[in-house]
Every structure is written in structure tokens, then in C-alpha cells.
């Protein structure tokens, strides 16, 4: 009986502590976000692999567009294994990355399943610095010290 009273008292104390903060809302969304991340990784990674493979292949084939037909043919033939390898690697990276990045803000959205834009540079969240080495007083320099 005493343990039941302690459990009820503790739950009331926890609810009153979180009453005026957004932490309770965040805790309530955690299972939804976790399910979205898991589903996004399982379903979104193969989608990202296929999409990245196609984009890699088209990018490789475009390299030969000004060459003769012989180079175009052999370029298309030899671009396939390169595109498959690069697509597997990049898709295996971007699938979970999209699931983790987009499931927090928009669970089960098309971006969480790698169906949106697969841009290499995801949009930065507001308030974050994109270039940590920038100094407005000094010009940016290359590693060997000459200005750009």
C-alpha cells in the first residue's frame, strides 16, 4: 500500500515538474520519432541506394557526352559498375542520415524515407554556423596561406 502511494506521489511530482515545459511533449513524441527513424532506415536506405545509383550513372555517362560514339558506348558500359559501387556507398550513408535528420521534425514524411531531395548538403538548422573557421576581420585563405 505504501509503495502504491509513493508511485502515485512520484508521478504527480513528475507531472507538475514538467507541466510548464516542452519536455513532456517531447517525451510523448519519442516513441513516434523512434518508430519513424526505424522505418526510415529500413525502407529509406534501399530507396536511397537505388536513387543514388541512378544519379551516379547519369553523372558518369554525362562525362562522355562530347566524345565520339565509341567512347560514349564504352563509357556507358564501364560507368555501370562504378555507379553501382558509388550508389551503394552513398545510399547506405544518406538513407540512415535522412531518417535520423528528418524523423525528429517531421516523422514519417517523404524526406525521412529518402523520397524527397537527396542533396549532399542538408539545410542547416537556424542558429547554427555553417563555416566555423570564418573570421570577418581576416580574408579566407587556402591551406598554404594565399588568399582565395
3-state secondary structure of 141: strand
Query: Which DSSP category does 147 fall into?
Result: B
**For position 65, what pLDDT does the model report?**
83
φ/ψ of 114, rounded to 5, equals 60, 30
Query: At a CB cut-off of 8 Å and minimum separation 6, what does 88 contact?
Result: 49, 53
Q: Which is more confident, 34 or 24?
A: 34
Q: Which is more confident, 123 or 39?
A: 39
Displacement of CA 131 from its chain's centroid (Å): 19
pTM for the whole structure: 0.61
Taking only the tens place, the pLDDT of each residue in 56-112 is 999 888 888 888 888 888 888 999 999 999 999 999 999 999 888 888 888 888 888
Cell numbers representing residue 70 in the block: 565509341
- In contact, 44 and 95? CB cutoff 8 Å: yes
Taking only the tens place, the pLDDT of each residue in 31-71 is 888 899 999 999 999 999 999 999 999 988 888 888 888 88
CB 10: neighbour CB atoms within 10 A? Answer: 10
Query: At a CB cut-off of 8 Å and minimum separation 6, what does 13 contact?
Result: none
**For position 83, what pLDDT does the model report?**
93
Amino acid at each position: 500500500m505504501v509503495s502504491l502511494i509513493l508511485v502515485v506521489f512520484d508521478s504527480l511530482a513528475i507531472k507538475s515538474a514538467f507541466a510548464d515545459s516542452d519536455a513532456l511533449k517531447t517525451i510523448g513524441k519519442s516513441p513516434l520519432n523512434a518508430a519513424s527513424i526505424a522505418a526510415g532506415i529500413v525502407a529509406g536506405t534501399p530507396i536511397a541506394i537505388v536513387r543514388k545509383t541512378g544519379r551516379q550513372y547519369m553523372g558518369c555517362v554525362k562525362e562522355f557526352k562530347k566524345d565520339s560514339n565509341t567512347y560514349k558506348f564504352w563509357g556507358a558500359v564501364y560507368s555501370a559498375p562504378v555507379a553501382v559501387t558509388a550508389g551503394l556507398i552513398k545510399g547506405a550513408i544518406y538513407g540512415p542520415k535522412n531518417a535520423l535528420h528528418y524523423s525528429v521534425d517531421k516523422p514519417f514524411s517523404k524526406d525521412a524515407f529518402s523520397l524527397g531531395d537527396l542533396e549532399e548538403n542538408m539545410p542547416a538548422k537556424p542558429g547554427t554556423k555553417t563555416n566555423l573557421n570564418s573570421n570577418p576581420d581576416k580574408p579566407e585563405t587556402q591551406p598554404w596561406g594565399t588568399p582565395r
